[in-house]
Chain A
């Protein structure tokens, strides 16, 4: 007899100190079903999944697999009962081959001595069964992200997974790769396997799942049939209010170009990370840089900032050549940067909020008084920033940056960079890891800066963000600009530009701009 549910939770509760991360969670997945788990950051999705995979133990409640109550003390037990998990940050070993990654920890199947030939053929066969087309000998670190994800999925299947948990699987994929992943999910579904698809992307949830369970603040807000709901309804369940769409790009009122990159080439470890990139960013414009991570975006930004050596080409900021002059000169010339990783690059986590706010301006008036820092002046400034940018800090300006939530940390970085009144704002993945509310705030702030006539270079791998904010979009692939397009470009075209399948250079200057 086939049980009604492949997996079920009853009243799962998990507390971390005073915080209730999961509060009486009831959830069911049927065999052969794709269930989406939707929720903002901090809604408790990850906690729940870690409980289902045996990485955390619930304080209360019950898990049932195939109708039988079970208790997971470690991932090993979850694996043995057919629960597999593909983590958002892959649990793969880049230096190992595909085959080695798949059989790791499977001594029962491989035996103590691993025969290379047998291993190779068994993994190849297994990979064919799911149309995965993976080379067992390929080094995982050399594979594109989409294929690495398949290795993760294969790893779970090899362990006999019947229920597959995918934690934000599309966050790292191009649109094409997402399409491929969805085909894989449907194929697994056809084999009677259940999938729990965790995401906060509404359109994907609508496309792939049969039912959606929405979490908010650790509680189940409800479970709905996908066919009977809409993205708007899901968004409302998820954030508790209607979602405001980012305002659409405007036209006209451009000045500049304020930032001009002229044939910029950057070499890293002997390879060309950026090859002859020429781009103009105008005042009053957001130029989005789209592309799969690792296609030269980081090097480009570092070259602009002056922390990566420029092999050839020039960086002109408001008429001043800042090529290779280093960050201090670039900042003096009017550059501001919101780096990708706010915890390691954007902030000094052990420093107070006030100290972080003056990191770039502490050497000048009004914060410096002779040899000393004017504490009173700094605190006044910090208090003002905390108010203007709505930075929610329990301990005020003297609390360490590490005590803030991700969204508030990002506000500190934004406050510091924007308050210096830069001419050019370079922003990398400004909403990475932020929930919908904080994302909305950051977007609104950026658009306000645009309205003030700042030139904004936005690097992001979130296509919705790029398309929602940009006046023009540049697409990078393997260090070259393969596309310069308007934000109404189709997802399909964008995907092809991101994989280098075609080149399209149409949006050479902002609409209605051009005249100087």
Chain B
């Protein structure tokens, strides 16, 4: 029974599936990276993802247009992020508390609204998900073509954001500004940079990309909204940023590890291995956390988690 798992087609399918299980976590992690780098803990990602998953589905379901769903997800993520930015940047409250509080809010609100909107319909409501788009030429390359270049547009976007984010953070004045605010807000302030504005913007980016990662789940993966469907992927993204040493390439590597494990456990579930599925579901989380522990110490941005108050 396990034999077909290791055939070439099977491996290609696994890798291709890995790209798709990676994408939502990677989107959230890249967003969170901006937030962390500017000194604001990206601990609210789980909430942004949930909000995005729900708003994305609602938008797409009622309009019949996936892109309107995406727009709704971006807005929902950013709205929640704005609240988080207000508490963590303007008020200076504990980021861990504000962030996890918002996650609970998002979980409750999406669950409640979901029942209000869809329970009465009785049927299992669905949208037609994002379809794979084969890149002309490249998609015909052996193996790679299928794995990398026959994916839906959100997968391309997620992976394209990696080099783009790297370039912004390390090769532009804007990136220098973001990193400086996350390292030493007062130093940035004394050279005339606007700490508050920078942090707000970065938190909003994390809200937008977190929301997008959530929308991926409802619009490209499950084709519907299910309560708590993010299954703590937002918290995984939060951990993945650390595991990836606060660097977009590292975040991609860590996301791929999580994605591979997730794809593998899905495959094993489908193949019907005699292991309770709950254990299979745990696998990607346990693996990523174990890898993180073994990866050793990372240096966080020096001002991460601390509010900046002018005196």
Q: Output the least CB separation between A228 and chain B (Å).
A: 36
Q: Which residues of A contact B190 (CB under 8 A)?
A: 53, 55, 75, 85, 87, 91
Closest residue of B by beta carbon distance from A80: B192
- In the complex, whether B135 has a CB less than 8 A from a CB of chain A is no
Query: Quick check: A91 and B174 within 8 Å, CB to CB?
Result: no
Contact residues of A between 96 and 130, Cβ < 8 Å to B: 96, 100, 103-107, 110-114, 116
Query: Quick check: B191 and A93 within 8 Å, CB to CB?
Result: no
- In the complex, whether B68 has a CB less than 8 A from a CB of chain A is no
Q: Output the least CB separation between B181 and chain A (Å).
A: 10
Q: Which residues of A contact B174 (CB under 8 A)?
A: 112
Q: Which residues of A contact B176 (CB under 8 A)?
A: 96, 100, 103-104, 114
- In the complex, whether B177 has a CB less than 8 A from a CB of chain A is yes
Closest residue of B by beta carbon distance from A85: B190
Contacts A/B (CB < 8 Å), 29 sampled:
A53-B190, A55-B190, A75-B191, A75-B192, A87-B190, A91-B184, A91-B190, A91-B191, A92-B187, A93-B187, A93-B302, A94-B184, A94-B302, A95-B183, A95-B302, A103-B176, A104-B176, A104-B177, A104-B188, A104-B191, A104-B193, A105-B191, A106-B191, A107-B173, A111-B173, A112-B173, A112-B174, A113-B172, A114-B176
Query: Quick check: B183 and A79 within 8 Å, CB to CB?
Result: no
Q: Which residues of B contact A113 (CB under 8 A)?
A: 171-173
Which of B171, B179, B192 has most A Cβ within 10 Å?
Answer: B192
Docked Cα-Cα span, A55 to B184, in Å, equals 17
Which residue of A92, A95, A110, A159 is within 8 Å of B173 (Cβ)?
A: A110
- In the complex, whether A76 has a CB less than 8 A from a CB of chain B is yes
Q: Which residues of B contact A114 (CB under 8 A)?
A: 171-173, 176
Which residue of B172, B179, B186, B302 is within 8 Å of A91 (Cβ)?
A: B186
Q: Which residues of B contact A111 (CB under 8 A)?
A: 173
Docked Cα-Cα span, A91 to B193, in Å, equals 13
Query: Quick check: A93 and B183 within 8 Å, CB to CB?
Result: yes
Docked Cα-Cα span, A55 to B310, in Å, equals 9
Contact with B along A62-92 (1 / 0, CB 8 A): 0000000000001110010000010100011
Query: Quick check: B172 and A96 within 8 Å, CB to CB?
Result: no
- In the complex, whether B7 has a CB less than 8 A from a CB of chain A is no
Given contacts A96-B176, A111-B173, 20 further A-B contacts (CB under 8 A): A55-B190, A74-B192, A75-B192, A76-B192, A79-B192, A87-B190, A91-B184, A91-B190, A92-B187, A95-B301, A96-B179, A103-B176, A104-B177, A104-B191, A105-B177, A105-B191, A106-B191, A110-B173, A112-B172, A159-B191
Contact residues of B between 116 and 174, Cβ < 8 Å to A: 171-174
Which of A85, A87, A105 has most B Cβ within 10 Å?
Answer: A105
Query: Quick check: B191 and A79 within 8 Å, CB to CB?
Result: yes
Write the residues of chain B forming the contact surface with A, with a CB cutoff of 8 angstroms: 171-174, 176-177, 179-180, 183-184, 186-193, 299, 301-302
Q: Which residues of A contact B172 (CB under 8 A)?
A: 112-114
Docked Cα-Cα span, A459 to B205, in Å, equals 49
Docked Cα-Cα span, A74 to B196, in Å, equals 14
Docked Cα-Cα span, A84 to B173, in Å, equals 21
| A-B pairs, 8 with minimum CB distance | A76-B192, A105-B191, A91-B187, A107-B173, A93-B183, A91-B190, A93-B184, A105-B193
Q: Which residues of A contact B193 (CB under 8 A)?
A: 104-105
Q: Output the least CB separation between A153 and chain B (Å).
A: 14
Closest residue of A by beta carbon distance from B167: A113
Q: Which residues of A contact B301 (CB under 8 A)?
A: 95
Q: Which residues of A contact B189 (CB under 8 A)?
A: 75
Docked Cα-Cα span, A92 to B193, in Å, equals 14
Q: Output the least CB separation between A143 and chain B (Å).
A: 15
Q: Output the least CB separation between A419 and chain B (Å).
A: 35
Docked Cα-Cα span, A291 to B177, in Å, equals 36
Closest residue of B by beta carbon distance from A55: B190
Docked Cα-Cα span, A85 to B180, in Å, equals 18
Contact residues of A between 50 and 67, Cβ < 8 Å to B: 53, 55
Q: Output the least CB separation between B296 and chain A (Å).
A: 13
Docked Cα-Cα span, A111 to B172, in Å, equals 8
Q: Which residues of B contact A91 (CB under 8 A)?
A: 184, 186-187, 190-191
Docked Cα-Cα span, A187 to B117, in Å, equals 74
Q: Output the least CB separation between B138 and chain A (Å).
A: 28
Q: Which residues of B contact A53 (CB under 8 A)?
A: 190
Docked Cα-Cα span, A113 to B299, in Å, equals 26
Q: Which residues of B contact A116 (CB under 8 A)?
A: 171
Which of B187, B188, B301 has most A Cβ within 10 Å?
Answer: B187
Q: Which residues of B contact A94 (CB under 8 A)?
A: 183-184, 302
Q: Output the least CB separation between B245 and chain A (Å).
A: 12
Docked Cα-Cα span, A111 to B179, in Å, equals 17
Query: Quick check: A95 and B192 within 8 Å, CB to CB?
Result: no
Q: Which residues of B contact A155 (CB under 8 A)?
A: 191
Docked Cα-Cα span, A103 to B191, in Å, equals 9
Q: Output the least CB separation between B305 and chain A (Å).
A: 16
Q: Which residues of A contact B173 (CB under 8 A)?
A: 103, 106-107, 110-114
Q: Output the least CB separation between B153 and chain A (Å).
A: 27
Docked Cα-Cα span, A8 to B49, in Å, equals 56
Q: Output the least CB separation between B200 and chain A (Å).
A: 18
Closest residue of B by beta carbon distance from A100: B176
Contact with B along A371-402 (1 / 0, CB 8 A): 00000000000000000000000000000000
Docked Cα-Cα span, A55 to B173, in Å, equals 24
Docked Cα-Cα span, A103 to B184, in Å, equals 15
Docked Cα-Cα span, A462 to B37, in Å, equals 37
Q: Which residues of B contact A87 (CB under 8 A)?
A: 190
Which of A79, A93, A96 has most B Cβ within 10 Å?
Answer: A93
Q: Which residues of A contact B191 (CB under 8 A)?
A: 75, 79, 91, 104-106, 155, 159
Closest residue of B by beta carbon distance from A74: B192
Query: Quick check: B183 and A96 within 8 Å, CB to CB?
Result: yes
Closest residue of B by beta carbon distance from A95: B183
Closest residue of A by beta carbon distance from B303: A93
Docked Cα-Cα span, A81 to B180, in Å, equals 24
Which residue of A85, A95, A112 is within 8 Å of B299 (Cβ)?
A: A95
Q: Which residues of B contact A112 (CB under 8 A)?
A: 172-174
Q: Output the least CB separation between B50 and chain A (Å).
A: 33
Q: Which residues of B contact A93 (CB under 8 A)?
A: 179-180, 183-184, 187, 302
Q: Output the least CB separation between A344 and chain B (Å).
A: 15
Docked Cα-Cα span, A114 to B171, in Å, equals 5
Q: Which residues of A contact B171 (CB under 8 A)?
A: 113-114, 116
Closest residue of A by beta carbon distance from B301: A95
